[in-house]
Amino acid sequence: MTMENINIHKTAVIHRDAKLSSGVSVGPYSVIEGSVTLGDNVRIGSHCVVTGQTTIGRNCKVYTGAVIGSAPQDKKFSYDDNVFLNIGENNVIREYVTINPGTLDGGGKTVIGSNNLIMAYSHVAHDCIIGNNCVMANAATLGGHVTLEDSAVIGGLSAVHQFVHLGRLSIIGGCSKVVQDVLPFSMCDGHPAAAININTVGLKRAQVSPETIQKVKKAFRILFRLGLSRAHALEKIANEIETCPEIEHLVFFAKTSKRGLCSAPNVPSPNPDDDV
């Protein structure tokens, strides 16, 4: 541990083997254990614990009471397992957030990208993959092996089931129960969550063209409003909508979904075992 421009409160406990980069600050009563690496200008608030084989990238801010890198809540986990938590740059991790590393069965890593906002009391379980520019509102919870693509948003008090995949620029309403994959660019809400519409506001903020937004809207209607099987809906999209990167991504996501897609209200969900 180097001491260059590092500000450690006198009550903090820092293991001698921890790697702290320039500009790191650690608040009162926080604990940084020996296999932890903190990048430039990382700020750790008071009463935090950063443990395990955890790397936090530069300019991240961790607020009061967060526990980062503690053992996965998995019955098969052993403290001898060689597992990791990798957190990118410019993330904001608010009060009392908990984030676990991976498990051997899940590939050994939990990975969080950059520029994410994880609000108070949220939980990221083992083997999750979070992209960039995502938001988890207060008390949002990810089960193990969940994937969030870039710019996904999860409302407060929502829970995402294990192995669920949330597509790019999707948004989940508050207090939702998400048990199936969420199509990119869509809005889902409910208990269980259902696909309500496309995320028009998110698409506009991402500077997606009006022409592309109309294509996404038409693809959403074909998938969820016509009562077609997933295979027939994807065939109709291929035949009727001029392709673009957003449509290609949407189609690939739907084809490769393993848990089935959150369907529209009152429309039966396609069988996830269909040959698509």
Residues 119, 63: Cα–Cα separation, whole Å? 10
Q: Which of 123, 126, 161, 165 is catalytic?
A: 126
CA 115 remoteness from chain centre: 12
Alpha-carbon distance values, 171 to 11, 157, 178, 183, 197 (Å): 41, 14, 11, 10, 10
| Spatial separation of the C-alpha atoms in residues 30 and 16, rounded to whole Å | 14
CA distance 72 to 126: 6
Rg (CA), the chain: 20
- Catalytic pick among 127, 143, 156, 173: 127
> Which residue in the list 45, 102, 143, 144 is annotated as catalytic?
144
Told to judge if 127 belongs to the known catalytic residues of this protein, a careful annotator would answer yes
Smallest CA-to-CA distance from 196 within 174, 171, 215, 214 is with 171
126 is catalytic: yes
Nearest-angstrom CA–CA distance, 169 and 152: 5
Q: Cα–Cα distance between 91 and 195 in angstroms, integer?
A: 28
Q: Residue 245, exposed/middle/buried by CB under 10 A (0-12, 13-18, 19+)? A: exposed
As annotated, the active-site residues are 126-127, 144
